[in-house]
Structure 1
Amino acid sequence: MDSSFHFYVSNSFPCCVRGYHRKVSHTIRPPRPPLRAFRPAIAVAASIAVILITICPIATFAASGATAAPPRISTPAKFPRAPTSGFAPDGQTLFAPIVYLAPPGPARASRAIAILNRQLDFQRKISFHPKLAPALQEVVDLLPPRQSTMIRAAALYSKPAIPWRDEPDGTHQICVTGRPSDDDYLYTLSPDWRSPEEPARFSGVFGLKPSADSTPANISSVTGTLAGELMIDTYGIGALVDACADALREVHGDLRPPWDSSPGAFNHHDRAALDKFHRQMPHLAAKFDHYFKFNNLLDEFNSPAGPIVLLNVDAEVRQDALRKYPLLYDFYRKVVPAVTATSVILDSHGNFWMREAFDHGHIRVTVMIRGGLLTPFNAAMQPAGGSIALNEIARGSYRTLASAQVTSLAMNFGLANVEFATDYRRDLGSVTFVNRMDAVPQLIAPPGVHQVMDLIAGDFLRALATGNGGMNSNLTSRRLPNGIYDFSGGVTAQLNYSPTLELLARIGDAIATKHNDRVRAEERAFGEELFDAFVADYNDARPAIIALDLDKDKQQEKSK
């Protein structure tokens, strides 16, 4: 089972989710598929505000959703706001943003430490030490590897060996629960869906429902849903957005001339940022030095409105450093040089809010920050509109556009125009991302081969993008009256049966199955290695974090 499964949880499967109070139908996209294989490296390279490492996939959603387009932003009246003006002082601890994980009030930094301590303990178990109970392991063994589940979903529906739970409307379900178990997070097979009632508990469901034109003898298409719910006693997405807003203020070098004249030059701005990183987070910085080579980190420009920081990462994985993870090493050594992938977040004017790319081994991430606020930029990497305080956004919309291709024998194969539209909404107690695929992805292939590939995969892609309103997904967090946070969300899509694609998937499965468990073990070990370094730096920084309370008390005394 994919260790990130528990974060994609949903109320979009009403026949299963009885404990969730449905007010509005919400959706959010899953992580962009073309960049799935490279996201761990991209996330690491982009983590100047390293607090995001502790919140993994949720951070991706929170940070992405907050980059909404200016024409559709409104500001709520009351929820707490992080500082929004100016960059953070150079001497301030890089861990200062965690203060916003706790509600406002006395001893906020100390309370934030207690909250994050609980989250880190939970995060280690659920992210790096998943464990399957024997009955669930038997079911997982009957399912195809995760990379071909969607392709083979219609065929799976009629597989009698899988212990499906049958619903009156013909839906076949597998229900799962999760809970901490010593140092692990244990997933077990459940006879039905039950909404979790305690912190750190999870409930999930995988369901397949035949389409209206299917017959018992011919299941040609199904609606697939991956859904669930997670309870935690730490913080919700709103607090993460506030922490992200404050973390942007810490992304800078020295903010001094000589200013950069064009993007991409490694100079004193980059060295100042890296020096600060090494001083304040030496354990994690050492891991970065070991695994990555930075050709550029950021650029700093002067403007009438003040300094502009272009977080402009160009990093390469040091392949020899991955030798301790043989399968990851083999992947980067053999596959990566042939792969290119891009993903951008755009507003309604076509301006960029974030650009990500994996270009033949180069990891690239670009974000613009002006006065500590996220800022749109154009293709020439120049400011293209007003800056935004992430924590002040009540609602907004944005688009993501992704592509990926592999070069083999001087020919390019892949997908382009993988496009999603996302709506973001926040109020005093909840945050919701609503996402939908609203265009059919385009196949990349040489002439002649392209026609064959379109015959093989065209109907599947068209159904994925347009069937039942198109692929949709969601993520919501809401604060319950007892102070516990409920995370829910999921992914739903129409999945057509394609015999040719299934044959290709079976061939791929035969190769992948030999390495799946080992690959996942290496992925988790690599992630936990970085996580351990972050925790070591966090523990060392606790006195500086607590001092933020003392500084606030002194400021209040002066104001009196």
Structure 2
Amino acid sequence: MDSSFHFNFPGSSTYCIAGYHRKVAQTIRPLRLPFRAFRIALITSSAAIIITICAIASYAASSPPKPAPAPAASNTGFAPDSRTLFAPILCLAPPGPARASRAIAIFDRQLAFQRKLSFHPKIGPSLQHVIDLLPPRQSTLIRAAALYSNSEVPWHDQADGTHQICVAGQPDNADYLYTLVQQWRSPEEPARFSGIFSLKPAADSAPANVSSVTGTLAGELMIDTYGLGELVDLLGDTLREFHGDLKPPWDSAAGKFNHHDRAAMDRFHRQMPHLAAKFDRYFKFNNLLDEFNSPAGPIVLFNVDMEVRQDALKKYPLLYEFYRKLVSAVVAKSDILDAHGNYWMREAFDHGHIHFTIMLRDGLLTPFNGAMQPAGDSVALEEITRGGYRALASGQVTSLAMNFGLANIGFTTDYRRDAGSCTFVNRMNAVPQLVAPPGVHQVMDLVAGDFLRVLATGDGGLNSKLSSRMLPNGVYDFAAGFTAELNYSPTLELLARIGDAIAKEHNDRVRAEERAFGEELFDAFVADYNEARPAILALDSDKGERQVKSK
């Protein structure tokens, strides 16, 4: 396969799973400002899409923002209340006659497959034996160098010393079955999966003392529904649905639940009653969105502040207990920023409060500053064909009245899209910083500092790739993988073993309850989707088609 963008697996130069894309010479429309960074946010409805990406497309202007345009007509760019919330699925089918009917057929296939893949995994006996020999997922990276020398693991050895474990997946009635296989082989038909986990000794490691390895975890999945590009288009159209009533009295400050929020919630309950009922049961909304007036027309700050109703989780006792402890101990944040420090997306988990913030103007993503004010041109996601973005994250856990965690977890991402393919390439761009109390911090840095430095800078640094490409027969090939150099740290390994002993007993059962909870929301979504079929089919009229196409 001729590939201009590929993922080489240790031990072979022939594996090429991340797909390829044709070279893109220019964007769809002339850029008024130079591209410096962007982010694509792929937020899809409750487990209905195969891959969810948290990214936002953005311009990072090298010159000051342009003056505001002349006042626009009220509600320009936002979807009318009369349009079904499921209208964006038309983006999954190419334009043309009976587009809604074709989109429904595509989405039906995806939902049936998604249920098996997301909620009903089944592990073959030989693969289960391997899993039992591997450390829990929380410490796989930390213990990778030591794991390389574990002779009990049935590694498939390569000539250069690389150790591999290969996995295949396929539907098995109502389940999705994963089995251990001897070697990597790309999927050859829809709904099939191939995966690989490999460890390769670093160049300076002695055969008898492997102190550092390059770890690779990757997979390839073939589906007959849609690719990442179609998901970007779906998101671009879905964002037009994020509004309240777009009427005065306008908000003067962010965070107040009022008639704008109630209008959005009323529409949600009216058009998606089953899923809305589940949200009412499991979540409390302190705020949903804020709407402001401007010379250019209404601005929507989709500004979610919600909490999980913990008592509602008691039907899942292990998940309830896990989440109850999480609420009191964990704070995590992630921001998407441009070169000027303006935001395209903010998300956080702060002692039980779940926050998510984006800004929309004319139904398009818009950058905003720390005062929640517009800070540049809006972006039409479907028109972006290349660019880059940067993300910054942090997380900490409180234990014994002390905070421990990581900050400055930064990544840069390159994005490319053409008519048949879409690709994200992510690279860690800084060494994460340890968060710990004074005194303890120095000890922690001695324990973990070298591991983090090698993770960020060794062998090119931690990087990952996600892509989809359409094959000549119309089937889509998805591929994802990450690779990083993982240094051996005996102290970290000891700490990981202690943590594993505490966590392992409940891991599988908690994940089973997580899947059951997810499927409960998924079922509600599917029920609403099935009831909305007549409204979706009505979009096959000329008027409906124009509504979906307009941005």
| 1:184 correspondence with 2:178 | no
| Aligned equivalent of 2:52 | 59
**1:82-134 deviation per Cα after TM superposition (whole angstroms, max 9, x unaligned):** xx961000111000000000011110011000000000000000000010111
Task: Tell me if the contact between 2:274 and 2:524 (Cα under 8 Å) persists in the aligned partners.
Answer: yes
Pick aligned residue for 1:355 from 323, 337, 346: 346
Residue 22 of structure 1, CA deviation = 6.4
Task: Tell me if the contact between 1:368 and 1:374 (Cα under 8 Å) persists in the aligned partners.
Answer: yes
Task: Tell me if the contact between 1:12 and 1:489 (Cα under 8 Å) persists in the aligned partners.
Answer: no
| Aligned equivalent of 1:255 | 246
Residue 338 of structure 1, CA deviation = 2.0
Task: Tell me if the contact between 1:52 and 1:59 (Cα under 8 Å) persists in the aligned partners.
Answer: no
CA distance in 1, matches of 2:380, 2:106: 24
Pick aligned residue for 1:387 from 357, 369, 378: 378
| Aligned equivalent of 1:32 | none
- Give the letter for the 1:311 counterpart: F
**1:477-512 deviation per Cα after TM superposition (whole angstroms, max 9, x unaligned):** 011111000111201000001101111111111111
3-state SS, counterpart of residue 295 of structure 1: strand
Q: TM-score, normalised by structure 1?
A: 0.88
CA distance in 1, matches of 2:59, 2:197: 31
The higher relative CO (CA closer than 8 Å, separation ≥ 6) is in 1
CA distance in 2, matches of 1:398, 1:554: 32
| Aligned equivalent of 1:161 | 152
| Aligned equivalent of 2:191 | 200
CA distance in 1, matches of 2:123, 2:330: 33
3-state SS, counterpart of residue 532 of structure 2: helix
Check 1:234–1:70 CA distance in 2 against 1; reply closer, same or farther (3 A cut).
Answer: farther
CA distance in 2, matches of 1:24, 1:102: 20
3-state SS, counterpart of residue 204 of structure 1: strand
| 1:374 correspondence with 2:361 | no
Task: Tell me if the contact between 2:257 and 2:287 (Cα under 8 Å) persists in the aligned partners.
Answer: yes
Residue 553 of structure 1, CA deviation = 7.7
Task: Tell me if the contact between 1:65 and 1:423 (Cα under 8 Å) persists in the aligned partners.
Answer: no
Task: Tell me if the contact between 1:374 and 1:389 (Cα under 8 Å) persists in the aligned partners.
Answer: yes
Compute the RMSD of aligned alpha carbons. 2.2
Alignment of structure 1 residues 394-413 onto 2, 5 Å: 394-413=385-404
Q: Which has the higher helix share?
A: 1
- Give the letter for the 2:52 counterpart: A
Alignment: residue pair count: 514
Residue 216 of structure 1, CA deviation = 1.4
Pick aligned residue for 2:7 from 4, 11, 14: 11
Check 1:387–1:172 CA distance in 2 against 1; reply closer, same or farther (3 A cut).
Answer: same
- Give the letter for the 1:539 counterpart: N
Task: Tell me if the contact between 2:337 and 2:391 (Cα under 8 Å) persists in the aligned partners.
Answer: yes
Residue 474 of structure 1, CA deviation = 0.5
Q: TM-score, normalised by structure 2?
A: 0.90
- Give the letter for the 1:18 counterpart: Y
| Aligned equivalent of 1:323 | 314
| 1:280 correspondence with 2:271 | yes
Alignment of structure 1 residues 222-371 onto 2, 5 Å: 222-371=213-362
Residue 554 of structure 1, CA deviation = 9.2
3-state SS, counterpart of residue 405 of structure 2: strand
Q: Which structure 1 segments of 5+ residues have no match?
A: 1-9, 27-45, 73-83
CA distance in 2, matches of 1:317, 1:538: 24
Task: Tell me if the contact between 1:204 and 1:228 (Cα under 8 Å) persists in the aligned partners.
Answer: yes
Task: Tell me if the contact between 2:47 and 2:114 (Cα under 8 Å) persists in the aligned partners.
Answer: no
CA distance in 2, matches of 1:514, 1:342: 28
Task: Tell me if the contact between 1:65 and 1:422 (Cα under 8 Å) persists in the aligned partners.
Answer: no
- Give the letter for the 1:315 counterpart: M
CA distance in 2, matches of 1:98, 1:187: 30
- Give the letter for the 2:327 counterpart: V
